[in-house]
Structure formats: structure tokens, C-alpha cells
Amino acid sequence: MQELTVCVGESCHLNGAEIVVKHFQKIIETKQLKDRIQLTGSFCIGECNDDGKVSVRWRDRMITVDPETADDTFQQEVLSEIDPTPKEG
């Protein structure tokens, strides 16, 4: 289980944390990653920015996510590091 934490502190909230959360939830649901990725929220993690981005912690590093491209960021940063699901048969 790897932790994916979205900051929902005041600044990130105003930058669209909710949208990021919803996107991530959807991907995790459709790709059935619930037992591989633990999605949590956290109040301010101290990485507030003025660029309109939302701070996200993935495993041991910080990423900034633009709500408009949340799906792409997830692909690039998160999915690429998950062991591929073993094929059936």
C-alpha cells in the first residue's frame, strides 16, 4: 500500500484540491487500485504556492498538481511507479 496524500489546506483548497481529489478517486476506482494506493487528505503540509496548483505527497516526495491536468499527472507520477497488475492465466 502506497500513500498518496492530497493537501486540502486553505491555500490548496482554493486552488482546487477538491477537483484533484475527485479525479484521483475516479482513476483509482476505474483502474481498481484501491488495495495498492491509499488516498488520504491532509490539512496544510507546508508547501503552499501561488501558481494555482495543489500540493500532493506521493510516497516520499512532493508533487504539485494542476487541477486541469490532474489525470495526466497521475499517469506520469503515480501509475508509472505501480507494479503492473499480474495478468490472469
Partner 1 sequence: MAKVVIGAWDDRVVDNRDKRFFEIEEYPELGDFREFDPGNPIKAFLGGRGFFAFDRNVSLLCAIRDYLKRAAEESCGKCTPCRAGTRILVEKLEQLCETGYKERSIREIRELAEHMQSSSLCGLGQSAAVPLLKLLDAFPEIVEEELSNGCLHSEQPSQSYVTAPCIEECPSKVDVPRYIDYIKDGQFTHSVGVVLQKYPMAATCGRVCVRFCEMACRRTQVDDPVGIKVLKRFVADQQKYATDHWFDRNLIDQPKADDLKVAVIGAGPSGISAAYHLLLKGYRVEVFEAMTEPGGMAAVGIPEYRLPKEEILRKEVAIIEDLGGKIHYNQRMGTHFSLDDLIERGFQSVFLAVGAHQGKSMRVPGEEDAVQGYISGVKFLLFINHYYINLGLDMDLGKKMVVVGGGNVAMDCVRSALRMGVEEVHVVYRRSRNEMPADKEEIEAAEKEGVIFHFLSHPTRVISEDGKVTGIELQKMELASPDQSGRARVIPVAESEHTLATDFIVPAIGQKVDHSFIARDQGLEFNEWGMIKADEQDLSTTRRGVFAGGDAVTGPATLIEAMAQGERGAESIDDYLTHGRTQFRPERRFQKLLKGMRKLQTEEVEQPIRHLYRVQVDELDPETRKRKFEEVEKPITVDAAYQEANRCMRCYRVYSVVTEK
Q: Catalog residues that contact partner 1 under the rule CB under 8 A.
A: 5-6, 8-10, 13, 18, 21-22, 25, 38-46, 48
- Give the shortest CB-19-to-partner 1 separation in angstroms: 11
CB 27 within 8 A of CB 77: no
Q: How far apart are CA 34 and CA 13, in angstroms?
A: 24
Nearer to partner 1, 35 or 88 (CB): 35
- Give the shortest CB-57-to-partner 1 separation in angstroms: 10
**Is 35 exposed, middle or buried, given 0-12, 13-18 or 19+ CB atoms closer than 10 A?**
exposed
Nearer to partner 1, 46 or 86 (CB): 46
